[in-house]
Amino acid sequence: MSIDRSRQSDGTLRRGLYPEIEPYKTGMLDTGDGHQIYYELCGNPSGQPVVFLHGGPGGGCSASHRRLFDPAKYNILLFDQRGCGRSLPHASLDNNTTWHLVADIEKLRQLCGFEKWVVFGGSWGSTLALAYAEKHASQVKALILRGVFTLRRFELEWYYQWGASLFFPEKWQRFIEPTSGLQSDMIAAYNKLLTSSDEAVRLAAARVWSVWEGETTTLLPNLDNSAHFADDHFALAFARIENHYFSNAGWMADGQLINEATKLQGIPGVIVQGRYDMACPPISAYDLHKAWPGSELKMVEDAGHAYNEPGILHHLIEATDKFA
């Protein structure tokens, strides 16, 4: 029996991305501590401000991310977080923490002259969105989160130690091969490889780390997604920065984002979560929903983790329309 993923359960067609657009402004923000942050503004300069927070950390933005918002109604800010995408220096771990990124977001808001804005984040972007909103609640009009990741220790262990491996045993075998028996703590084992003084060792480890994620985040195999994660330039920043953050627990107490979700009271929001998300299991979205008064949880029954899976994309577009 085949499932028509182009339609909702009631038979209505699912929403898709808005048409392609180009930025009306681009720039580089000098952070003052060694980083240059690429940013761009798209859509309607007089529209509702929104900031898009990409995943990873280390993933960077793409042109398709602009298309999650109605360009006639939104003034859309996208930026590449420290060390990735078009930001410089590439793959740098210096002065690169969650709280540096939260400060960068606030600097960009002030640079653009926005009083309040919608904050949109998926995967690691949801982590960063929560960290920002819990620190700067008065600047947040609404939150749209996808594939919730709160950086609790058991979430990391699920994906990098004992959980997702049970669903992808052959892919997991490829992931553990470079670690030479240091498999009791895969994040620590990869940290040694990704910070090696040997550039070839760093790059080889980065490819394997990155491809593990690229091949396990969609409900059904997606060759384009896998190829993107295998690209050397992308993989080096993605793997080094992601592992750096995970090795340091995001510079947060375990469970901090859920425990402090009461700070979000009064901020409306939509959480979109794939039922079969192997990277960020639904328990985190559910726990956040329970802890965040006024949030709305959309559980997508035929989806994994990726934003462009049909059911997830449908609900994301509905959510961005809601707050325009």
Q: Could you list the active site residues?
A: 123, 277, 305
Whole-angstrom distance between the N-terminal and C-terminal Cα of the chain?
38
- Spatial distance between the Cα atoms of 167 and 300, rounded to a whole number of angstroms: 19
Say which residues have a Cβ less than 8 Å from residue 153's Cβ, sequence separation at least 6: 249, 254
Cis peptide upstream of residue 293 (ω within 30 degrees of 0) = no
Residue type, 27: G
CA-nearest of 279, 305, 196, 278 to 240 is: 196
* Structure-derived torsion over alpha carbons of residues 14, 20, 22, 26, reported in degrees to the nearest 10: 40
Given its phi and psi angles, is residue 280 left (phi above 0), alpha (psi -120 to 50 degrees) or beta?
beta
Residue type, 56: G
**Residue 135, H or E segment:** helix 124-135
- Compute the C-alpha angle 306/304/96, nearest 5°: 45
Q: DSSP 3-state assignment of 51?
A: strand
- Tally of CB atoms within 10 A around 220: 9
Contact 15, 314 (CB under 8 A): yes
Contact 119, 140 (CB under 8 A): yes
